[in-house]
Every structure is written in C-alpha cells, then in structure tokens.
C-alpha cells in the first residue's frame, strides 16, 4: 500500500508531500492542474526513462520518493535475492534525476539498479492509464488473466524452467550443427595440410641437429686442417708441447729430494700433462672423424629446406610448432568425425526435453480452459450492471502453436455489446468506453483472486456517466475493501463522492512561477469540490445539495 508520496522540483511541483489511505480514494482537479505530472513522477519510480526537461526550472535535481506498507506482501525473497536491506513493515523507493542527465535510484536508502527499482515498483503499484486499455487485445495480457485466475504460478514456474532448458538445448544444437557444417567444408583442406606435415616424418629436436651438422659439413676442410695443426703442436718430434712438458715434469721430480715445493709443483704439472694428453688424443680422434661429404651435405640441406618451407607455409618459427600444428589438425579432424554422434546425442536430449515441455504446456492448457469459462461467467456478471445488458463475452482457445514463453495456447477475447451482434476480437468492435469498463471488470475480477498492489486508475471512467459511473464506483470501492488500496483520478462527481479519502490537485500562480499542489480535502471542502464538478465554476444551492446527497451514499 502506498503510504506517502514526496516530490521535489519536478515539472510544476516545487515540493509536495502527501499521505494516502487504504481502501478507495479519489483524486480530482481541473484539466492541466498537475494530475498527469504526479503520474509522471510515479512513473519514474516504476523505472521509466528520466527526462532532464522535467526538472523544475532553476533546480539542480528532482527527487521522487514513495513509502509503501509491504507487511502483507511477503517480499523478503526479492530483497534477499537482490541483496537489499529488508524491513517487513515499510519499503522506500527513491529516484533522483540530476540536471546533468545522471539518474540514481534507491531502495530503502540503498543504491539500486533501475532494473531492480522497476521490478520492485511493478509489484507495489499498478498505474492503469488509458493507453493500458490497448493491452486488452494482446494475447500475452489475455493469457496472464487466465493464469492469474487459474492460480498457475507453480505450473508456470515449472513450465518456464523446462522451456528455458529446451531453448538452451536448441541453441546448443544449432551452434553445433553450424560448426559441423563449417568444419566439413574445411575437412579436405585440413586433411591435405596434415598429410603434408605427416609425410615429412618430423621429430622433435631434429632441426637443431641438422643445422649443426650442415654447419660442420660446410666447413669440414677448415675444421680438419685446424685440428691437425693442434694435434701437431702436441706431438711434434721437434718442440712438441707434450714432450716439453714431460721433460719439465722429470726435472721437478728430480728436485723433490732437495727442494720441497717441487713436489707440489710436480703433482700439479702431472695433472696438467694427463689432461693435455687426453685433449690431444680427443683432437686426433675428432680430426680423423671429420671428412668432406658433399652427398651428405646435400641430403641435410634438402631436409632443412623441407622443414623451412613447411614453417614458412604454416607461419610458424620452430619445428615443435609444426608438430603441435599437426596435432591440432588431427584433433579438428577427430571432432569432425565425432560431430554426427554429438549431434545425434544432443538431438535426442532436445527431443526428450521438448516432450516434457509439451506435457507441462498441456497442464497449463487444462487450467486455462477451466479459467476461461470462469472469466466468461464473471465478466458477463460484472458488465451487465455497467450498462451492457446484452453483452456477450467469450474466451476463444484457438489452435495450439509451437511452445513459447507462455505455453502453446492461443487465446482471443471475443466481445459483442449487442444481443444479435457477431462475436469479434474485443479491440475491433468495442468502443473506448466499453473497453474501459471491460478492463475495470477484469481488474476487479483479478483483485478477487490475488493480492494486487496499489492500483491507480487514470480516468478509467472516460466516456461514461450517470448510473454506469455509479456502478464503476461500486466496483472500485469493492476492490478497495479488505485492506486493498485503489486510487482513481476522475472527473465524475459520482465516483469522486465514493472515495474514503478525496485529494485535490490544483495550481497556484505567482508573478514569477506556477506551482502544482495536492491536498486532502476536509468534509466541507469535499462538498464544494463535488458541487463544482456538478455545476462548474459557479456554485449553486442545487449543486451543493446534490453534492451532499452523493456523499451521504458512502457506506
């Protein structure tokens, strides 16, 4: 229930702070007094787009804040799911729009996203404006009416879960099928590339070994000549390094008896002699193994040229990357061959899920068919007192369609206000006043089935008068019973007189600005306001008497 509404610096409103009552209340005021401005401010709390032009001239920002009594709404799950502070008695929605264009939203003084404010706001207040009457011919709205009266909440939740899983499987299957088709197009190319790499019989580390061998073979004579010179310096009969070292070692050994340090020097020199002798033998062996082999050099270069050409073709730098690329080609080809099995498995899962969706959709259809008969019965009973004695209303359950978000049912509300008229889609045959009465009847019918949020009717009585207006007032008053809250913006005195509380919207002009205000009328002020609605600007005794008579009818 809407407890209070605070508006600051919005359009013609400088500051407004008004409390609201439970039950049925009315708001009246001259055309242009600011009723639509108040509804526009409420619209911001319902997540509508903010327009900086709505900020009062000269102000830096506008603020709209509403306090709701949510003690009977059981909304804890929403707050917990969205990690918002929860008060089981009161909820505060606030929207601030800066002149710079920035907009901020708050739930219980905690910053919230616009989506969160919109979701919560729609559960707290329902503004029924004239454009909402257009919903009456929308299949989604019609199905929603049937679901509410059929108490299909649990069945719909189960259906949505099954449906979403089915659609997910359908998307996965489509993606896999498209991938399979593309991969099959690439199969010949992949196979050719793989065969070309495999024919090379590449081995890890091979490239570096071949490059070293090619370098050695290309300089074989130079290497062999250099090793021979080194070998000669070791073993030359005249002045060979090992011969000189051996003589020096013998000299040191002869001095050990008379010169103690000679022993240590001898040991060190002997180690050097052994090492150098080993090196000389290795040099000799290496020199003998080196030979100039043009045939082997050609063979190595051909192998390297093959590796280099494959690297260049596949745009890689190393032999290991080529081998890894071959593995990738094998994996892709393996996937291609497995696509059929994967597609078959996913198709079977999708088909099984589709059967579950169809089965749950049938549960919805059965409940809706029963609810449709109840809608026909209740609406006829509600519309007859609203000036349609010969009304006929039928809920047509059409041919089933492919399962969608709301099931597989097609539904159409058929209407005829005349006894012998042909039943047709309601929007094509009903007048604006008739559609307004049907919508009011539907909302009243829904109010009897579920706990509706605060409902604001914006001139739903357009196009009616007299006794029909009385009956519409009865219906809104009935909706306001049992601690529900219904607020009607009206120009009809018959409806204005029926509210538990009466609020008036009015403008005040000064030399520099115009301000819109709203206030609750006292009993005496109500008499005058309704008398003005009956007679116009000039108050007459007859109008005052009629106003008092209308007000005495409030139960």
What CATH topology corresponds to 2-129+453-521? Rossmann fold (3.40.50)
> Please, are residues 63 and 95 in contact by the beta-carbon 8 Å criterion?
yes
What is the C-alpha separation between 24 and 499, in angstroms, rounded?
5
pLDDT-derived band of residue 237, with 50, 70 and 90 as boundaries?
low
Of 532, 529, 550, 536, nearest to 470 by C-alpha is 550
Q: Is the pLDDT of residue 130 over 70?
A: no
* Residue 183 pLDDT exceeds 80: no
**What pLDDT does 238 receive?**
67
Least confident residue range of 39-43, 128-132, 516-520: 128-132
Whether the pLDDT of residue 62 is over 90: the answer is: yes
* Residues with Cβ within 8 Å of residue 482, at least 6 apart in sequence: none
Q: Which residue has the higher pLDDT, 395 or 430?
A: 395
* Nearest C-alpha neighbor of 456 from the set 167, 175, 35: 35
Would you say the pTM of this structure is higher than 0.95?
Answer: no
Residues 6+ apart with CB under 8 A from 433: 462, 463, 464
Question: pLDDT higher for 503 or 35?
Answer: 503
- What single-letter DSSP state applies at residue 491? S
Q: Are 97 and 54 in contact (CB under 8 A)?
A: yes
Q: Among 366, 408, 405, which Cα is nearest to 161's?
A: 405
On the question of pLDDT at 382 being above 80, the answer is: yes
pLDDT for position 555: 45
CB 533 within 8 A of CB 496: yes
What DSSP line would sit under 343-389, residue for residue?
HHHHHHHHHHHHHHHHHHHHHHHHHHHHHHHHHHHHHHHHHGGGT-T
Note the pLDDT tens digit of each residue in 65-98: 999 998 877 888 888 888 888 888 899 999 999 9
Burial string for 112-150 (b: 16+ CB within 10 Å, else e) reads bebebbbebbeebbbbbebebbebbbebebbbbbbbbbb
- Percent of the chain scored above 90 by pLDDT? 30
Structure tokens at 503: 């609020």
Tens of pLDDT, residue by residue over 291-328, are 888 888 899 899 999 999 999 999 999 999 999 999 99
What would the pLDDT profile of 239-291 be if each residue is shown by its tens digit?
A: 788 888 888 888 888 888 888 888 899 999 999 989 988 998 888 888 888 88
Task: Give residue 125's pLDDT.
Answer: 87
- Count CB neighbours of 298 within 10 A: 11
- Mean pLDDT for the chain? 87
Residue 54 has pLDDT above 90, yes or no: no
- Count of CB atoms situated within 10 Å of the CB of 260: 9
Q: Residue 390 and residue 475: Cα distance in Å, rounded? A: 19
List the chain domain ranges.
2-129+453-521, 184-335, 524-555
For residues 28 and 263, what is the distance between their CA atoms, to the nearest angstrom?
Answer: 126
**pLDDT tens column, 441-466:** 888 888 766 666 788 888 887 777 77
- Which positions ≥6 away from 36 have C-beta within 8 Å? none
């Amino acid at each position: 229930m809407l407890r209070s509404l605070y508006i600051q610096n919005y359009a013609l409103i400088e500051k407004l702070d008004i409390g609201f009552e439970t039950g049925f209340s009315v708001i009246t005021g001259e055309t242009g007094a600011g009723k639509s401005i108040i509804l526009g401010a409420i619209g911001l709390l319902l997540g509508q787009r903010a327009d900086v032009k709505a900020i009062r001239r000269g102000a830096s920002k506008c603020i709209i804040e509403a306090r709701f009594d949510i003690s009977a709404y059981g909304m804890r799950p929403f707050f917990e799911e969205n990690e918002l502070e929860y008060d089981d008695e009161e909820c505060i929605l606030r929207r601030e729009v800066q002149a710079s264009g920035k907009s901020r939203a708050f739930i219980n003084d905690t910053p919230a996203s616009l989506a969160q404010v919109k979701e919560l706001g729609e559960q707290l207040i329902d503004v029924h404006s004239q454009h909402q009457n257009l919903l009456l011919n929308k299949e989604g709205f019609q199905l929603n009416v049937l679901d509410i009266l059929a108490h299909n909440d649990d069945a719909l939740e189960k259906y949505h879960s099954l449906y979403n899983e089915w659609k997910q499987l359908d998307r996965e299957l489509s993606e896999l099928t498209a991938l399979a088709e593309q991969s099959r197009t690439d199969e010949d190319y992949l196979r050719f590339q793989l065969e070309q790499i495999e024919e090379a019989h590449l081995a890890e580390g091979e490239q570096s070994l071949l490059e070293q061998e090619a370098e050695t073979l290309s300089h074989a004579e130079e290497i062999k000549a250099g090793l021979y010179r080194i070998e000669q310096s070791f073993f030359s009969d005249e002045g060979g390094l090992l011969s000189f070292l051996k003589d020096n070692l013998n000299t040191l050994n002869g001095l050990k008896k008379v010169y103690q340090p000679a022993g240590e020097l001898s040991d060190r020199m002997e180690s050097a002699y052994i090492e150098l002798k080993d090196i000389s033998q290795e040099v000799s062996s290496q020199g003998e193994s080196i030979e100039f082999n043009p045939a082997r050099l050609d063979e190595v270069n051909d192998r390297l040229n093959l590796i280099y050409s494959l690297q260049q073709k596949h745009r890689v730098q190393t032999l290991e990357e080529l081998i890894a690329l071959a593995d990738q080609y094998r994996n892709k080809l393996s996937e291609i061959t497995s696509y059929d099995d994967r597609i078959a498995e996913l198709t079977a899962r999708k088909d099984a899920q589709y059967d579950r969706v169809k089965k749950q959709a049938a549960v919805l259809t059965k409940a809706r068919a029963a609810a449709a008969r109840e809608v026909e019965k209740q609406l006829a009973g509600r519309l007859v007192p609203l000036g349609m004695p010969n009304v006929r209303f039928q809920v047509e359950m059409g041919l089933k369609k492919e399962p969608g978000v709301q099931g597989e049912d097609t539904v159409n509300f058929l209407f005829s206000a005349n006894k012998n008229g042909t039943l047709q889609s309601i929007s094509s045959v009903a007048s604006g006043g008739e559609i307004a009465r049907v919508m009011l009847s539907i909302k009243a019918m829904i109010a009897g089935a579920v706990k509706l949020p605060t409902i604001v009717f914006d001139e739903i009585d357009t196009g009616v008068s007299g006794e029909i207006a009385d009956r519409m007032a009865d219906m809104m008053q009935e909706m306001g019973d049992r601690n529900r809250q219904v607020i009607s913006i009206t120009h009809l005195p018959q409806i204005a007189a029926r509210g538990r509380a009466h609020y008036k919207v009015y403008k005040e002009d000064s030399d520099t600005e115009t301000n819109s205000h709203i206030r609750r009328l006292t009993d005496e002020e109500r008499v005058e306001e309704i008398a003005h609605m009956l007679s116009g600007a000039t108050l007459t005794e007859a109008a005052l008497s009629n106003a008092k008579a209308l007000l005495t009818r409030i139960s």
